[in-house]
Amino acid sequence: MNFRPLLLAALLVGCSAGAAAAQNVGSVGAANQDATGQPPGGSARGLTVGAGVVQRERIRTNSDGSAQIAFKDSSALNIGRNSDITIDRFVFDPATGAGEMTTSMTRGALRFVGGKVSHGSGSTIKTPAATIGVRGGVASIGYDEAGRLHVVHHYGVVDVVNAGGVVKLLRSGFETVVADYNSPPTPPARVDPALLAQIMARVTSNAAQRGGVKKQPTNSDAARFDIGIQRLGGETPNFDLPAARDNLARGRTLTRAPIPASTKYPDSCGTGCR
Amino acid sequence: MVARRLLAARRRRALFGHAGALALFGVVGAAQAQTVLADQASLLPRVIANPADHETNFAYARASVEARDYEAAIVALERTLFFNPNLTRAKYELGALYYRLKSYDMAQRYFEDALQTPSLEPDLRARIEIMLPAARKEMEPSRLSGVLQLGVGYSSNAPLAPPFGFIRSNGADIPNPGPYYQRGGANLTALGEVRHVYDFENQRGDLWETRFAGVGTAQFAFGELSSVLFEASTGPRLALAPEALPGATIRPYVVGSYATMALGRLGSSIGGGVTARFPIGDAFYVEPGVEWRHLDIAATSRFLEVASTQNTGGQWTGSLAARWTPTDRLSFDGKVLYGRNSSLTGALTSRRFGLEGAARYEFDPPSESIGWRWSATPFVRYAETRFDAADLFVDPFVVRVDRQVRIGMQLDMPITKAFGVAALVQYMRNNSNLPNYRASAWSGLIGPTVRF
């Protein structure tokens, strides 16, 4: 029996799988040290802005570290301090916008901002306490000091599932809290603003950090691109009302036939009465 | 270089948008939407390859905002905050973006954060002072909002009566005996709309909405036509399928109205209806509705006025409204309606057909210190009313058909957080196959507004 075709096929499959594993799924959008990335089979390296990120790369931060990972489908993970996150799988076809995204977080905090993949099949974030599905959407996820997992909805649909049950978050500003994998997620409730502020502070730079760049963007840079000019449009007065008033008046002034001269007009008539 | 070229191109588009959008061309909106999507798509790979290129990053954020891909813009601007945590423009823009996503908690956080940042620019502060309270209000379970206007108006035909000439009476044309002819007159008008929303705070997003609207007009030359019209409606707005059809809602309601003229009761109505709203994508929704009212028209001293007790009866209206928002600044509203008024006589019983269209274009005010956008809304409305039978008092052989057209423009110019100015100019023409009901008028209204 000739095994050469089978061997060749196995070799091709192996090569393509290796190439896929090594293919960049995005890049480091920003990084405050210490933040490290460890590709599968490789050693940990300090994250630098613009460096490629691959599938199954493990990203860890210490108490000063934070990072943003920008994916090819326009989504991003803002990774907070003291976090340990692995990009398990990211597949994206730019032509169709379809794909798949799975991330694991064993500690820390992150904000996920969705892109084309999450708007299609959804994205999954696995934690020891629950699996979180995000469709569309934006969500903040983080552990508190007591070790409980907080999942905060900002946009889209967020499903939180574990052995204890399922909670669906559909409204911004609501959260569920999960103690462990066997405890049911709490019913949705408004998030404590202090907790939200704490998570927000963890997933970005502190006042002294620069996210890994030498030259900082300035407000004048932003202004040149009309960043910061958004305004609300005021609610317009209801101008259907004068039209309705006009039709009332027409009902009163249009005659079906001559009005007898003896017609009495109300005492409240103005100058137009006879 | 590419980012600068795109910026220049976008500015050219903006200039064109300012001049062209008011021309009511939906094609312009669609073309602009396609162009900004292409800009955004071309910038994404460059942002991924070099996230530290701030110009490209800002250009990408801008293109994403214009494409209404607010999440992509959030990604870009949250990245710039990694690079410069004191970037107040990015904080403000993020607050505004989260606001547009109805993520009011995040919007509040970013606005408050921007307020606490040293050297906050005065123009940003002015905008935050409008958007932050709005975001806070949206998170309250019980929300009251409204807009009121007091204005001075003028109409070239204050009584909206036929011109001096002939009217039909018992099938013959006779000189119009009056007392009302086309004649100009000024008025003082107060109008307002107040809405209350009670949020059940459930995950479905169910609400209870109550609306009060009213208009009062004191006519200077025709005091007997001074009128007050007041309408109220209340009912729940229920999500149909919040997960499968996000944003799709149904709203049953009860409605009532009351009108006076010259301080005497003119009529009232009471009824109910149901509307449903179905979003189609992010930029379009349709809203079918049906309503029934019982009309009760008061007895008057002039039996042969059009609005006599004989108009008392029922009124059915079915409608299909739609809104398309092709860009962040431009929206189009359309509505088609069909209705039937059942009165005591066939001569006053009618079918109504209406077609309405409006384009709202929002633009930046002349001063940076004004925190609102201004808006111009040209509109056109057509209404056709066909009566069931001839009116023997008018012409026993002609069944009345009225065709009314209104075209106009409204301009809204909020200035401070609460105060502003709004204006309306319109032309109304009622063509009828009977001279008694022909009328036309130019009218205008301008005055201060209050929002809360």
Q: What is the DSSP letter of B141?
A: S
Using a pLDDT cut of 70, give the percent of chain B over it.
90
pLDDT (tens digit per residue) in B95-136:
999 999 999 999 999 999 999 988 799 889 989 999 999 999
Say if residue B427's pLDDT is above 70: yes
- pLDDT value at residue A266: 46
Q: Map residue B172 onto helix, strand or coil.
A: strand
Say if residue B1's pLDDT is above 60: no
Q: Does the beta-carbon distance from A230 to B127 stay under 8 Å?
A: yes
Confidence of residue B18 (pLDDT cuts 50, 70, 90): very low
Q: Does the beta-carbon distance from A29 to B72 stay under 8 Å?
A: no
Q: Which of A17-31, A188-202, B297-311, B390-404 has the lowest mean pLDDT?
A: B297-311
Whether residue B51 is preceded by a cis peptide bond, meaning omega within 30 degrees of 0, is: no
Q: What is the DSSP letter of A260?
A: P
For chain B, what is the mean pLDDT?
Answer: 89
Whether A194 contacts chain B with CB within 8 A: no
Q: Please report the beta strands in B37-76, taking only residues with DSSP state E, as ranges in sequence order.
A: none
Chunked into runs of 10 residues, chain A (274 residues) has average pLDDT values of 49 44 86 95 94 96 96 96 96 92 96 94 94 95 94 96 96 96 96 92 93 95 92 80 82 73 46 36
Whether A213 contacts chain B with CB within 8 A: yes
Q: Does the beta-carbon distance from A227 to B180 stay under 8 Å?
A: no
What's the count of helices (H) and strands (E) in chain A, helices before strands? Answer: 5, 17
User: Closest by alpha carbon to B93, among B83, A212, B80, B18?
Assistant: B80
Q: Does the beta-carbon distance from A259 to B217 stay under 8 Å?
A: no
Task: Choose, out of A246, A265, A273, the residue to mutate when testing the contact with B (most B CBs < 10 Å).
Answer: A246
- Residues B229 and B258: their CA atoms lie apart, in Å, by 6
- Residues A116 and A135: their CA atoms lie apart, in Å, by 10
- pLDDT value at residue B248: 96
Confidence of residue B27 (pLDDT cuts 50, 70, 90): low
The Cα angle at residue B88 between residues B96 and A207, in degrees rounded to 5: 125
Rounded to the nearest angstrom, the minimum Cα separation between B27 and chain A is 23
Q: Does the beta-carbon distance from B219 to A270 stay under 8 Å?
A: yes
Say if residue B183's pLDDT is above 80: yes
The whole-model pTM stands at: 0.83
- Residues B113 and B100: their CA atoms lie apart, in Å, by 18
Q: For chains A and B, count residue pairs whose Cβ atoms are closer than 8 Å.
A: 382
Q: Which of A184-193, B69-78, B219-228 has the lowest mean pLDDT?
A: B219-228
A99-107 vs A123-126, strand pairing mode: parallel
Confidence of residue B22 (pLDDT cuts 50, 70, 90): very low
Cβ count within 10 A of residue B369: 12
- pLDDT value at residue A1: 44
Dihedral Cα B65, B70, B74, B77, nearest 10 deg: 0
